Structure 1
Amino acid sequence: MSATETSLESSLQQLKCHFTWNLIEEEESLDEFEDKVFNVYEFLNSEFTATLCNILAYVKQRQGDNEAALECLGQAADFIQREYADQAEIRSLVTWGNYAWVYYHMGRLTEAQAYVDKVRQVCKKFASPYRIERPELDGEEGWARLKCTKNLNERGKVCFEKALEKSPRNPEFTEGWAIAISRLDYRPASQDPIEPLKQAIALNGDNQYVKVLLALKLQKTYEVDRAERLVEEALEKAPDATDVLRMAAKFYQKKGVLDKAIELLGKVSECLPNNAYVHFHIGCLYRSKVLQRLNIRASEISEEREKSVDLVERAVCHLKKAHELNGSLVHVCSYLAGLYAMADQFEQADYYFQKEFSKPLAPAAKQLLHLRYANFQLYQMKCEDEAIHHFMEGMKIKQESKEKEKMKYKLQKIAHGRLSKNDSDPKALHVLMFLREMSKGGLHPAAPLHEAEE
């Protein structure tokens, strides 16, 4: 590496931009990162065009599509000149930093150096070579972290808090701060998100997404009427905003109004036909409606049974679409398997169970899958031995859960049922030995059946 290139790389590392914010987490792949940016998180619609264009430029460059990255940065630059003419220099620093990094990765060092110099010229006015402390830059980093990272919302909150220290009551930074806190409210020590969300709405009553976020938090405190008024107002004022529609669907799902949630997500799927998460959510809602009807007796009118069949078909349609678009989604294959089992299509059910088993699953997800598959073998396939095997495999997973307790109960019931018919049943005795070993917390559960029988 030449001295010039070394000097340029040193300068690039000092810039405040997406390439120096470490937005991709260690455990995730580039595909997972891209999926989050494009499909998972709802907010950042048209009101943050420059911010979103910068994020997309970063993603495109990481994918190796440098020309697309430059195009996105050009759109960001145009938007800044149009909407922030009086702040153009400061607002452009992140975009210029991204330009420099993209050109550097393309090997076009002269252009990269030119953008580094543009940043330096502005920073010199604040007696700093390549980075300055400005609320606009803290805000950009905050939005990038909220949009791109799953586990660093705390860092995003800190960015917005820094911005608000320098620019109190700024609507944009207050909104970002409120969204970050709302994402963290599951943590015991976190701040209650309701007041920050109210502050954001007071400063910008046109932000419909934040209204629905507030409604979801109020719903938890049983202020249901007030929450629903906020959702209705948001939907009236932003009937086509996909982020508002997705969050409103969550509200109605939690309220138990599944048809309304499906209707809202149907509008989202028209705008985002290739978003796997939207199809997955719709499929899950139809699945919930199917489960609600499981207690319908066979003697009831055929019209009701036909409705159940129709719901199963709709659920399968959306879940299969989700699986086609994103084969790594957890639970989608086991949900499909369960629906096919309800429809007595056992071969298809087993096919999707095996597809789910082939995925790299977290311990809790794998344990749940063993429970579901064991129930399928026990009740649909009438294969008790296979069910026992999967109940035991699920229990071996070191994950204390209600699923583990259910498997323990099922094994006990099966064993006692078999012993009531034959008090020396070898499989029943093996199961009870296994359960005793597991209750001791032993690392080596009962030996396989053929060894126990010898």
Structure 2
Amino acid sequence: MCSVHWLNQPGMGNNAPGTHSTTIEKSLESRLQQLKCHFTWNLITGDESLDEFEDRVFNKDEFQNSECKATMCNIQAYVNHLRGQNKAALKCLEDAECFIQQQYPDQAEIRSLVTWGNYAWVYYHMGQFSKAQAYLDKVRGVCEKFSSPYRIESPELDCEEGWARLKCTQNQNERVKVCFEKALEKDPKNPEFTSGWAIACYRLDYWPARQDSIDSLKGALRLSPNNSYLKVLLALKLEMEDENQAWELVEEAIRKAPGETDVLLSAAKFYYKTHNADRAIQLLTKALEYLPNNAYAHYHIGCCYRSKVLGMVHRRETAFNGNQMRFQKLIQLAVDHLRKAEEIKEFLEHSCSYLAGLYAMTNKYEEANYYFQKEFKKDLSPGLKQLLHLQYGNFQLFQMKCEDKAIHHFMEGVKIRQETKPKGKMINKLQRIALRRLSEDEFDSEALCILEFLRELNEEGEQAAKEAERGLDAEKAAPSASLHENGDE
């Protein structure tokens, strides 16, 4: 597990000078803790490993913040340090300084405070305390102009913290929004601050609570009319109410920024949602030119081809001989990309169960069973575990003709204490199997066991419902804690 408490370990690097006393080190660390930078923002929290953090920030997250190159360099420096690659971290910080000079020549000092703070922390961990102090002095030289030694309130610093948290954290959207709101209080018409605030509002539409970000995105676009990423986000919000305008926004964004991966990936999401898998595949393939080993791009291409396969099955097009070759080709394309994704990054959600289902369609049962077993090894939520038991039970029942194994998995899925659609389907399947077997043999022990199991399950459900009702009576005034939960799971 990786967390920020690693950072409070002086002398992590080589050449830690033995002549410096513990008192000097503690004094230096005390000043470092006052800095506003990636080392003091607690960007890695909970049980997330460094591998998971790095993968999410640089591979999974569509938002690349391509306009703020210094921000990405600082984040890469922070990750490199955590990897023990301090020389590489210093090189990233040099790049960040160059980008700041290019992008903000009139604000270079104040925009460099975060980078200088990161420099100080890296040198401190390398045991090069004099260099760490030199960067502390640079920070102090700017902050003292505002009557503060190492920490000042500045919209530029609030903005930089907002970008860092937007890129690096999953569940801090409210805090991200506050960072940009603080910046906007000082400079309400700043395009960069407004863009960050709008993106935070967009994220908040999905977690933790819904709010309407359309006006926020439109306001940000008025100040940043060439921001293609904002256009795609707005299109994703407008997709249900004005698909024509949404489509125009997406196509304009792609024309203006044909090589920006966050635009390509988000635009692909738009087309997938609007049932245009071919266009989504085209954009994802373009993104792969810039991200050849990105597991998520391969995964989403595989999902697009899989949706085309399922569409043919649903429309019964596979029954016609002329479509059989196309059907097989689509399956192979879906398999190729999903396997590539799985090779690059194991245990992507649904990847193995999707592969198993595709192999089952082509009667490759050994391969299908292999990927089902691989999916069972994943750390799945109760709802996903139930869905997997349903899928594997169906595989055993219809493809492998092994009713006993199917019954076992349906029962295992039903035992999971969560009410979902897959659970209801498994209960129905068990009832049908039991009744069919009893119609053939009224003393069938397996069928009688299934019915007894379902009877006990029903009694437990009724008891749980009564207890829940008593709990509701005791807390009538309490609001629902699951207002925004997905009822399907």
TM-score by length of 2: 0.88
Report what 2:269 is aligned to.
250
78-87 or 33-42, larger mean C-alpha shift: 78-87
Report what 2:414 is aligned to.
395
Report what 1:139 is aligned to.
159
Letter in 2 for 1:20: T
CA distance in 1, matches of 2:197, 2:317: 53
- The answer to whether the 8 A contact 2:338-2:351 is kept is yes
1:49 maps onto 2:81 in alignment = no
Matches within 5 A, 1:257-268: 257-268=276-287
Structure 1 residues 203-257: Cα deviation after superposition (integer angstroms, max 9, x where no partner): 010101100100010013x211111111111111112211111111111111111
Report what 2:239 is aligned to.
219
Report what 2:58 is aligned to.
38
Matches within 5 A, 1:328-343: 328-343=347-362
The SS at the match of 2:212 is coil
CA distance in 2, matches of 1:299, 1:227: 33
Matches within 5 A, 1:399-438: 399-438=418-457
Letter in 1 for 2:449: H
Letter in 1 for 2:45: E
CA distance in 2, matches of 1:351, 1:300: 28
Report what 1:446 is aligned to.
none
The SS at the match of 1:441 is helix
| Correspondent of 1:176 among 188, 193, 196 | 196
Letter in 2 for 1:140: E
| Correspondent of 1:62 among 78, 82, 85 | 82
CA distance in 2, matches of 1:22, 1:281: 31
Shift of 1:100: 0.9
Shift of 1:400: 1.9
1:10 maps onto 2:41 in alignment = no
Letter in 1 for 2:31: S
Shift of 1:364: 2.1
Change (3 A) 1:86 1:286: same
1:348 maps onto 2:367 in alignment = yes
Change (3 A) 1:121 1:294: same
363-372 or 379-388, larger mean C-alpha shift: 363-372
The SS at the match of 1:85 is coil
Matches within 5 A, 1:124-135: 124-135=144-155
The SS at the match of 2:253 is helix
The SS at the match of 1:19 is coil
Report what 1:450 is aligned to.
none
Shift of 1:45: 4.3
CA distance in 2, matches of 1:157, 1:45: 16
Matches within 5 A, 1:197-236: 197-220=217-240, 222-236=241-255
95-104 or 394-403, larger mean C-alpha shift: 394-403
Gaps of 5+ in 1: 444-454
Letter in 2 for 1:39: N
Shift of 1:295: 4.1
Shift of 1:301: 3.8
- The answer to whether the 8 A contact 1:181-1:190 is kept is no
The SS at the match of 2:248 is helix
Structure 1 residues 359-390: Cα deviation after superposition (integer angstroms, max 9, x where no partner): 22222222221111111111111111101111
Shift of 1:427: 1.1
The SS at the match of 2:181 is helix
Change (3 A) 1:297 1:193: closer
| Correspondent of 1:277 among 271, 279, 296 | 296
Structure 1 residues 233-291: Cα deviation after superposition (integer angstroms, max 9, x where no partner): 11111122111111111111111111111111110112101100000000001001111
CA distance in 1, matches of 2:353, 2:442: 36
- The answer to whether the 8 A contact 2:318-2:324 is kept is no
Letter in 2 for 1:372: Q
Report what 1:380 is aligned to.
399
Letter in 1 for 2:123: Y
Shift of 1:65: 1.1
Report what 1:96 is aligned to.
116
CA distance in 2, matches of 1:27, 1:436: 40
CA distance in 1, matches of 2:135, 2:317: 72
- The alignment of Structure 1 onto Structure 2 pairs a total of residues equal to 443
- The answer to whether the 8 A contact 2:318-2:327 is kept is no
Shift of 1:395: 1.4
Letter in 2 for 1:229: E
Structure 1 residues 398-452: Cα deviation after superposition (integer angstroms, max 9, x where no partner): 2221111111111111111111111221111111121222223379xxxxxxxxx
Report what 1:359 is aligned to.
378
Report what 1:81 is aligned to.
101
Shift of 1:79: 1.1
Report what 1:452 is aligned to.
none
393-402 or 263-272, larger mean C-alpha shift: 393-402
| Correspondent of 1:109 among 123, 126, 129 | 129
- The answer to whether the 8 A contact 1:334-1:369 is kept is yes
Change (3 A) 1:219 1:112: same
Report what 1:304 is aligned to.
323
Structure 1 stretches of at least 4 aligned residues deviating more than 6 Å after TM superposition: none
235-244 or 186-195, larger mean C-alpha shift: 186-195
